[in-house]
Structure 1
C-alpha cells in the first residue's frame, strides 16, 4: 500500500482524501483487525477511526466513505456505521457537510516533533543500574504465561474461568453505579477514605462469613491483597526488623519483605502448617497462610491455630494473616481464620474480593486494630490516596444486591466438582507423584520424584497445551522444591480437566 500520504488526492476545496474516498483496499487495511463476530461493532469502528485520526493516517480534511459504502467494504450493518459517524461528529472528530459527506475535523497540534526513530542499538542499562536504590527485578517471582487463556489446559492458580464470571449481575451493579446520585457519591475525592457503602457490606456480608466482626475504623480497602501486604510491610518493617515467612511460602510476600530488611527468616512448616518454634518466637512479625498454606494447601488444625496465637501473644509476634483462598469452596474441614480466634489484637488480616470474582478487579482489604488502620490510611494517601471509588461502589452494590452470596454458592459448587474429579484422576494419571490439598483449597501441591526439574517439566507441558506452576520459586533455596509444582483448577473448564491431566501424566512419565 505504501504510505497514506502517497495515496492522497485533492478535491476542489483543497482538502485531502484517500483515493476516491471509497477505495476498498485502503479502507480494508485501515480497519484491519475488526472483529465482526465480537460485540460492540460500532465501538470498534469508532475506536479505529479515532486512532487513525490521532496518528495521522486520516489527515485533516480527509473525506470518509459514505455509510453505505463503508458498511459494504467492512461487511457490517449500515446502521452500525451511521451510529459511529454521528457519535464522532458529536465528539468533533468528524464534521458532516450537507450533500458532501463526512470529513475529518481539526485537532489540536501536538507540541513538539513526533519521531518514530528506532531506539539506540546499545542500551544504557548499566548507567541506570548505578542510580537504582532497589532492584526488584533481581527477585524471583511466580511467572505465568500472559496468554494463558490461549492454552487448552491452564492448571494455574489465582486466575478465573470466564464462564463463571457473573456478567449480568456485575453489569446490573455497574449500571446502578452510573446513576446521577451514585456518580455524585463516588466522583469526589475521599482523601484517605473509602466508600462507606463497601465498608458496610464487608461488615454485613463478607467478614461474618469468616467469623470476623470489625468496626468501620478497623477496615481499609486496598488495590488487591498484595497492595495490602506492601502497605503493612512499609508500616512495620525497618532495616533490622526480623520477619518470618513460611518455607516454602508465597514468593511475592517474601520479596516485599526482602525489599525492606535483610532479616527475612524462613519458618518451618509441617503437615499442620506453620510451626510456633524458636525461630518463630524470635521474629517481630510473621507472615502466615493458615486457611490454606501457600503453596502446600495444608489446612492448619484448630489446636495449631491456638498454639500459634498463644506463642504470638507470649513473644510479641505480630501475625500477618493472608486469607487468600478462604471461602471459595464449601467443603467440610474449613476452619475459622486466626483473626476470628485472636483475643490479643496480634493479627493483621488481609482479604481479597478479587479471588472470588476476577483478579483484574484488584479489590482487597485489611482488617486490623483502629490505630493500625489509621496509620495505613495515612501511608496509602501518600501512595495513591484511595482505590478508585467507582469500582468500590460497583462492588458494594454487587454485594448489597445479593449477587456476591449467590455467586460464591455457584462457584463453590463448580470448584468442588472439579476437586472431586481431580481426586479421582490424579491417582490414575499421575502415579509418579504425591500431592496434598486441604479442604476448601483451589489448588494441589504435587511432588515428583527427587531430581525432577519441574521448570523443564513445565516447558514440556506447555508444548502439549498444559500450563502448570513450577515449585522452585516458592522456596528461599530454590532447589528445595524444584521437584514440586502447583496445580490450580479455578481457571480450567471442567470438561477439559481429564484430557489435560492425561497429557500432563504422559509428560511426567517421560521426565520423572
Structure 2
C-alpha cells in the first residue's frame, strides 16, 4: 500500500484521505472490505496515530464516490474490533494503539557462506520452473496450468462456502483431524470423481494432498532411497526430475517415442517409474491402450511400481473423448494414481489426492502427519459440497466447451501465423507443444515476447539437457481469452521471423 508517512490527530485536507484510498479496486474485493483493510493497515503502520479524527461517513463517501452505508458499515466494524472509537458529538477517531515496530535482522555475506556449508541438499542449485507472478497483467498469457477467472464458477463456489459456514458445519471441520481427511470429500471422490476415470477405490485407499505436487513429493519420500532406480520421462515434468535427483543418483531416462514411454529394458530395470500417460508432459502425447497394457505387463513381470500423474484428468474438452487411465487397467495394485483439482478448477485451491492400496495410504498418512498433519479441512469440505451439489460436473461441461473453442482457434491460426513452426496437441490436451525452425532458441523468444505482453514457456526446462529443448516451447490456452489468441500468435510469428 502506498500511504503517506503519518497523519497528525487533527482535521486534514481532503487530498490526504483521497490519496490514502487511491488504490481502491472497483472490480475487486468488496469496497467495504478494502476500506477497512486500508484503515487497519494505516493504523498498524503508524500512519494513522491514536486520536486521529477520520472524516465523517458522508464526507468520506463523497471523496471516494461510494455509498455512504458502505463507509458507515466499515467504520462500525472497526469500532466493534477496537481500531476506532466513536465520541458523541465529536466524530470517529483512531483508538489508542500499541504500535509494533519491526526490527531488522543483520545479515551479511559471511552468513550466506556459513549457511550454504550446512545445507544437506541444495534445491536452489537445480533448474527451476519460472512463471511470471504477474501473468494476469499481460494481455496474451499462453501459460499452461493457470486458470481464466472469467470462467471460474464464482456464484456456485460461494454457495458451497455458505453451506459449509454454519455453526454446525464449522464444528465438523474446524477441529484437528490429526491424520484424517474430510469424510465428505473422500466420499465424493469415491462416488462422483474417480468412477469417471474408471477407478473404484475402497475404504482407506485415498489420501488428500496439497495439490499433486505434495502427492509426488510424498511418494518420492516413501519409495525412493539412495540406491533406488527411478525412471523418469525426458522431456518430462521438471519438479519430478528435481525431487528424485535430491534423493538418488540412479535416475534413468525412460525410452520413448511419439506414443509415449516404451515397455523396454529401461523400464523393466527400474524400481519406480513416474509417468504422465494421459497427456505426456510436455508433448501432450496420449498413450494408446495397447502401449498402456504392455507397460503394465512389464511392470508386473519386473515388480516396477508405476506412479501415474494424471494431471489433466476430468477436464475433457467438448468432442474429445479421453482413454481410460492406467490405474483403471491395473489388476495387481502396482499403479499409484495421483490426481488434482488444479487444472480442472483452480490451481490456488491446492487440493490433490493419491489412490493406492491401503498399506501404501497408511504409510502416507503417517508421513503426511509428520509434515503438516492434513490439508485445510475447510477447503476440503467446501470442495466436497461443491461436488455434491452438482456444480463440479456442470463446471467441467461448461469449461470443456470453452476450451475446445480456444483449441480450435489455435488450430486454425497456427498454420497462418506461425508457419515457421511445427506443433502437436493430442486430444483433450490443454496446451500445444511447438517446435521452432533450425537455429531457433525459444529462450530468446520468451524474453522478447514478454516485452510485448505475450507469455509462453520455453521448452528447455523440460529436458535433462537444456540444449535438447532449445527449439521447443509450450502454448497453453486455459488462461487466455478467445479474442486475444490470434493477436498473441501474430506477435510470436513476427518475433520468430525476425
Q: What is the TM-score of this pair, normalised by structure 2? A: 0.96
| Alignment root-mean-square deviation, CA | 1.9
CA 1:139–1:331: 2 relative to 1, 3 Å: farther
Of 77, 90, 94, the match for 2:67:
77
**Does the residue aligned with 1:140 lie in a helix, a strand or coil?**
coil
User: Following TM superposition, by how much is the alpha carbon of 1:32 offset from its aligned partner in structure 2, in angstroms?
Assistant: 3.1
Of 261, 264, 267, the match for 1:280:
267
Deviates more, 1:331-340 or 1:283-292: 331-340
Preserved contact between residue 354 and residue 362 of structure 1 (Cα < 8 Å): yes
Equivalent residue number for residue 437 of structure 1: 425
Equivalent residue number for residue 375 of structure 1: 363
Preserved contact between residue 44 and residue 99 of structure 2 (Cα < 8 Å): no
Gaps of 5+ in 1: 9-16
| Aligned-partner Cα distance in 2 for 1:225–1:475 | 21
Of 373, 376, 380, the match for 1:385:
373
Report Cα offsets for 1:44-72 as digits up to 9, x if no partner.
Answer: 11111111111111122222222222223
**Does the residue aligned with 1:102 lie in a helix, a strand or coil?**
strand
Equivalent residue number for residue 129 of structure 2: 142
CA 1:2–1:435: 2 relative to 1, 3 Å: closer
Equivalent residue number for residue 483 of structure 2: 495
**Does the residue aligned with 1:45 lie in a helix, a strand or coil?**
helix
User: Following TM superposition, by how much is the alpha carbon of 1:119 offset from its aligned partner in structure 2, in angstroms?
Assistant: 6.6
Structure 2 residue 173 is matched with structure 1 residue 183:
no
CA 1:501–1:194: 2 relative to 1, 3 Å: same
Report Cα offsets for 1:434-456 as digits up to 9, x if no partner.
Answer: 11111111111111123311000
User: Following TM superposition, by how much is the alpha carbon of 1:74 offset from its aligned partner in structure 2, in angstroms?
Assistant: 2.6
Equivalent residue number for residue 341 of structure 1: 329
Of 34, 39, 55, the match for 1:49:
39
Gaps of 5+ in 2: none
Preserved contact between residue 228 and residue 364 of structure 1 (Cα < 8 Å): yes
CA 1:145–1:4: 2 relative to 1, 3 Å: closer
Structure 2 residue 256 is matched with structure 1 residue 269:
yes
| Aligned-partner Cα distance in 2 for 1:509–1:96 | 67
CA 1:118–1:77: 2 relative to 1, 3 Å: farther
User: Following TM superposition, by how much is the alpha carbon of 1:306 offset from its aligned partner in structure 2, in angstroms?
Assistant: 0.3
Equivalent residue number for residue 238 of structure 1: 225
Preserved contact between residue 277 and residue 286 of structure 2 (Cα < 8 Å): yes
Equivalent residue number for residue 438 of structure 2: 450
Structure 2 residue 479 is matched with structure 1 residue 464:
no
Mapping 1:386-405, distance limit 5 Å: 386-405=374-393
CA 1:332–1:74: 2 relative to 1, 3 Å: closer
User: Following TM superposition, by how much is the alpha carbon of 1:40 offset from its aligned partner in structure 2, in angstroms?
Assistant: 1.1
Equivalent residue number for residue 154 of structure 1: 141
Preserved contact between residue 36 and residue 76 of structure 1 (Cα < 8 Å): no
Equivalent residue number for residue 210 of structure 2: 223
